[in-house]
Amino acid sequence: MAISYDDVVAKYDPVFGLEVHVELNTESKMFCSCSTIFGGEPNTQTCPVCLALPGALPVVNAAAIESTIKIGLALNCQIAPRSRFARKNYFYPDMPKNFQISQYDEPICFDGYVDVEIDTDEGAKTFRIEVERVHMEEDTGKSLHVGGATGRIHGADYSLLDYNRAGIPLVEIVTKIVPGTGKYAPEVARAYVAELRDILRGLGVSDVKMEQGSLRCDANVSLKPMGSDVLGTRSETKNVNSLRSVERAIRGEMIRHAELLDAGKKVKQETRHFQEDTGLTRSGRSKEQAEDYRYFPEPDLVPVVPDAAWIEELRAALPERPSIRRKRLQEEWQVLDKEMSAMVNADLLDIVEATVLLGSDPTKARSWWLGEISRVANEQNVSVRELSITPKDVAAIVALVNSGELTDKLARAVVEGVIAGEGTPAEVVTKRGIKVVNDDGALMAAIEKVCGEQAETAEKVRSGHLPAAGALIGAVMKETKGQADAARVRELLLGHLGQATS
Amino acid sequence: MIKQSAAEMAQALAKGEVTSTSLTQAHLDRIADVDPSVKAFLHVDAEGALAQAKNIDAKRSAGEKLHPLAGIPLALKDVLAQEGVPTTAGSKILQGWKPPYDSTVVTKLKAAGLVILGKTNMDEFAMGSSTENSAYGPTFNPWDLTRTPGGSSGGSAAAVSSFEAPLAIGSDTGGSIRQPAALTGIVGVRPTYGAVSRYGLIAYSSSLDQAGPIGRTVLDTAMLHDVIAGYDPKDATSVNGAFPDVIAAARSSDVKGMKIGVIKQLQGEGYQNGVQARFDESLQVLASLGAQIVEVDCPSFEFALAAYYLIAPSECSSNLARFDAMRYGLRVGDSDGASAESVMNATRNAGFGHEVKRRIILGTYALSSGYYDAYYGSAQKIRTLIIQDYAKAFAQADVLVSPTAPTTAFKIGEKSNDPIAMYLGDVATIPVNLAGICGMSLPAGLADEDQLPVGFQIMAPAMQDHRLYQVGSALEGALVDKWGGHLISKVPALGGAK
């Protein structure tokens, strides 16, 4: 019984809420000094504290508190003058203490918002996403369930546990429920996560790599009949690990709920898992019997009481909000919406800006990064940032082109050389012997040679048929191995054939 | 030699009259001799102790400057992690576990050059007041081997009172240092919460636990206190500030003009006659030394026991969740096809004793959704009231005093099937823990009716631990003069040869 998305939003009003978990990029874990580096051999980044050996005690990582307060400030939150950690008690093998240290009724940041702008049928429209709370907690270890059909703990032959991740600082950012977005719910949700990601990256507090799990999103969705004030039953979809998936998961859940409701069935309050391949969700554990986590204040830690003056210092040092920055750069650079979106979507705004700050003009910087360099990155199946070319290199190449020392074509060869690790643009130019032929004498010799070889064409030009010059210019360029400035060649050629240059 | 105080042994070591090796060997011999009947130790680390003693002797002969207590043997409660030495907290669930790290207390003891003889018996996870809840059998009171030494630090108290060790470390969550010290006629101090690092102290109730010193004299206890106290960045609840000089206080013995507050609620009805008599006598001694005795009112203390038996079990229900057979200790039921959950269940069922299970269940219930406010929440409010009662009382007196325990040592098995009767024995010690302040028990004499030791408790405000030693040494000095020696010299001879 398929129902179209248009039918869903004609009949139902969606309400959603998002919980985003962000792994902070602190050097050490939340409550001990173990390293947080991703990808280490299993169980090599552990100690008595994060393994929960008897007697071991947690101590709060001050850097994590600072990062969390920065996040709260960037999300327009209040910062609690005093907040506490609490224990969330439940048994699971990948959680060494069998309780998670989190924050419960006293989060460190609360009551904030993020404004996001999306394109609607009526033009660009801003939606305000209210942030209920931002709190700190610790990550669990990782379980690998071996054998069994599902890859889950039930039915597995055995399980392997890696505690390297246990205790990595996590920040959880919880929105209030977001009503009133109608058919734009999936896009608004996506725009919120994207904005959040940009804010966090701008703060430098997290790698925000959704594919590595350093930014994870859970999406709560419910539908209510159009015009109703009563919220529907919500489902909570976990494992939503890309921006596209946020949009797909919410859209998918809206359709699934609508199908159930249309068929007179009830939506079950449950946890669901998003499947990247199908874009659908599958049922996880049912939440009908709410788990009792027996929260109570963590007695091993003292309350977090940040100094008010310090908070103000952090506030004053906040970077420009990404949405505001984007507007400013677009104006400064005089680029179209479409071009701006291309840079944002390709995640190249920072790198283009850095190149511009090093003296490149915005159009050229954008065109190098988004064009040739992205193409090479694509070919090599790596991200642009992983290539060895830097904004400094690109700015240098642009300067060489501007000064006439390189042609666009030669510049591409230089870019290729820098990416191949041959050195700085200047070094590549020297090593490869790339040089614009500026010597008019040498050019004239080539022109005379070509005009002799292609006398017929030369005669056409001489008699005023200018388009024929192209073939001759091409031949001269070939003769000079592409190192000539085509404009200068044209100038000299036309002069040679008695045509005024323009 | 083993009957001396630690301070005397330290002098003999410093003068070269004795070596740490011979002193350590003498205590190991004493343990071999009497511990089969006292059963204070769960594990004797003869090899490690002699190696450390030899090491200290070598340093001393090389002329190195040593801590005054360097080379002195000591008994360590099995609740503290010591690298490479079996540490069980008196529980089957940790049988065979050897910590890969030292608790901060052990680090400090080692750094000062103390010689750790071994690990002492205790109520499982420090839950109990008689050491009968140990999974490895009870410890016996050297004053009367048919009686308990109290608990939960019963092993440490029995080791010191039977001359198996001159000093010991205990831990005190609701009186677990002071009550066994009282019942075995020695000195025990629960320092201010946060004064001694809890890092490596296997947690029972995090907001109440505190390790502390046990000795046969006030000065010995102060010297050990001084070694283990101090700020520790590994314990977030550790006090980062100036620590009072407890050794100087223990040597000052001057109470002239001090105000000593007798807590109305902690005497009289429910207290054994002999206990009350020795307590009253001690007050007279203090008055005769120039102290002023006043009575103070602490009405909330009536609810202290109830609050304690909600807070401690609540915290323990969470603290003990880590014992799940996944990473260390006992593992039961791990047969083919058994799920992680069933192994956890079977292990916890087999590994925990009755009292531990009782408290885990109590705490789990008290923290449950819908009951939290009524139980845990109310208990925390009582805690606040008790803190306020103390604040008012300390505005009227420099220290507060009471009998340490309502009775002298009770018979093995006498209360083990009556948890409430057992819990009531902690009525005078628990308020100190709830308020996070410090307390001392020192011998007040023998009760007339049973000739067993009576403990006199002194309480002081947080980080005023030196007041305990100042008043304690004054009282001890006067009583020792009166008795013609320390009370512990009257403990019956045990064992055979020596």
What is residue B160's predicted lDDT score, i.e. its pLDDT? 98
Residues A64 and A165 in one domain: yes
Sketch the domain layout of chain B as residue ranges.
6-301+383-490, 304-380
- Which residues, in sequence order, are bridge partners of residue A101? A87
Domain assignment of residue A501, yes or no: no
The pLDDT tens digits for B254-308 are: 999 999 999 999 988 889 999 999 999 999 999 999 999 999 999 999 999 999 9
The pLDDT tens digits for A47-93 are: 999 999 999 999 999 999 999 999 999 999 999 999 999 999 999 98
- Note whether A55 contacts B103, CB cutoff 8 Å: yes
Average pLDDT taken over every residue of chain B: 96
Residues A220 and A240 in one domain: yes
pLDDT tier, B147 (very low <50, low <70, confident <90, very high otherwise):
very high
Give the nearest partner residue to B101 out of A48, A58, A161, using CB atoms.
Answer: A48
Which one, of B5, B14, B4, B82, lies nearest residue B43 by Cα? B82
Residues A382 and A458 in one domain: no
Q: Residue B324: left (phi > 0), alpha (psi -120 to 50), or beta?
A: alpha
CA-based nearest distance B273→chain A, Å: 39
Q: Averaged over A419-442, what is the pLDDT?
A: 84
Instruction: Name which of A393-402, B100-109, B112-121, B134-143 the model is least confident about.
Output: A393-402
B416 given a catalytic annotation: no
Domain edge (last residue) among A259, A288, A310: A310
Domain assignment of residue A325, yes or no: yes
CA-based nearest distance B145→chain A, Å: 32
Q: What global pTM score does this model have?
A: 0.87
Average pLDDT taken over every residue of chain A: 90
Residues A224 and A265 in one domain: yes
B54 given a catalytic annotation: no
What is residue B311's predicted lDDT score, i.e. its pLDDT? 98
Q: Is B371 on the interface with A (CB under 8 A)?
A: no
| DSSP class per residue in B94-157 | GTT---SS--HHHHHHHHHT-EEEEEE--SGGG--SSSTT-TT----BTTBTTB---SSTHHHH
User: CA B125 → CA B205, B305, B343, distances in Å?
Assistant: 10, 19, 21
Q: How far apart, in whole angstroms, are the C-alpha atoms of residue B136 and residue B129?
A: 15
From B5, B20, B39, B77, the catalytic residue: B77
Residues A274 and A404 in one domain: no
Q: How far apart, in whole angstroms, are the C-alpha atoms of residue B411 and residue A332?
A: 88
Give the nearest partner residue to A91 out of B328, B344, B376, using CB atoms.
Answer: B344
Q: Which residues of B touch A91 (CB under 8 A)?
A: 321, 324, 341, 344
What is residue B202's predicted lDDT score, i.e. its pLDDT? 98
Range of the domain at A423: 320-432
What is residue B498's predicted lDDT score, i.e. its pLDDT? 40
Q: Averaged over A6-12, what is the pLDDT?
A: 95
Neighbours of A247 (CB within 10 A): 21
Q: Averaged over A354-370, what is the pLDDT?
A: 92
Residues A242 and A371 in one domain: no
SS (H, E, C) B29-68: HHHHHHHHHHCCEEEECHHHHHHHHHHHHHHHHCCCCCCC
Residues A302 and A416 in one domain: no
Residues A123 and A234 in one domain: yes
The pLDDT tens digits for A204-254 are: 999 998 878 889 999 999 999 998 989 999 999 998 988 999 999 999 999
Give the nearest partner residue to A93 out of B203, B326, B368, using CB atoms.
Answer: B326
> What is the CATH number that goes with domain B6-301+383-490?
3.90.1300.10
The pLDDT tens digits for A260-316 are: 999 999 999 989 999 888 888 888 765 555 689 999 999 999 999 999 999 999 999
Q: Using N-to-C axis directions, what is the helix angle for A349-357 and A391-402, rounded to 10°?
A: 50
Q: How far, rounded to the nearest angstrom, does the alpha carbon of residue A83 sit from its chain's CA centroid?
A: 31
Helix or strand holding residue A189 (H, E): helix A185-203
- Note whether B99 contacts A54, CB cutoff 8 Å: yes
From B103, B156, B171, B176, the catalytic residue: B176
What is residue A147's predicted lDDT score, i.e. its pLDDT? 79
- Number of folded domains that form chain A: 3
Q: Averaged over A479-497, what is the pLDDT?
A: 82
Contact (CB, 8 A) for A341 and A191: no
Contact (CB, 8 A) for B235 and B115: no
Fill in the amino acid letter for B216: R
Q: Residue A146: left (phi > 0), alpha (psi -120 to 50), or beta?
A: beta
- Note whether A57 contacts B234, CB cutoff 8 Å: yes
What is residue B335's predicted lDDT score, i.e. its pLDDT? 86
Q: How far apart, in whole angstroms, are the C-alpha atoms of residue B447 and residue B281?
A: 11
Percent of chain B past pLDDT 70, that is, above it, reads: 99
Q: How far apart, in whole angstroms, are the C-alpha atoms of residue B373 and residue B314?
A: 13
Domain edge (last residue) among A412, A432, A452: A432
Residues A385 and A331 in one domain: yes
Residues A209 and A299 in one domain: yes
Residues A339 and A456 in one domain: no
Q: Averaged over A424-435, what is the pLDDT?
A: 85
Q: Which of A383-387, B142-146, B250-254 has the highest mean pLDDT?
A: B142-146
Residues A294 and A400 in one domain: no
From B20, B152, B171, B197, the catalytic residue: B152
Domain assignment of residue A315, yes or no: no
Give the nearest partner residue to B99 out of A53, A57, A98, using CB atoms.
Answer: A53
Q: Which residues of A touch B80 (CB under 8 A)?
A: 55
Q: Which residues of B touch A290 (CB under 8 A)?
A: 369
B77 given a catalytic annotation: yes
Domain assignment of residue A502, yes or no: no
pLDDT > 60? residue B419: yes
Q: Which residues of A touch B235 (CB under 8 A)?
A: 57, 59
pLDDT tier, A501 (very low <50, low <70, confident <90, very high otherwise):
low
Domain assignment of residue A22, yes or no: yes
- Note whether B199 contacts A57, CB cutoff 8 Å: yes
What is residue A289's predicted lDDT score, i.e. its pLDDT? 57
Domain edge (last residue) among A432, A457, A481: A432
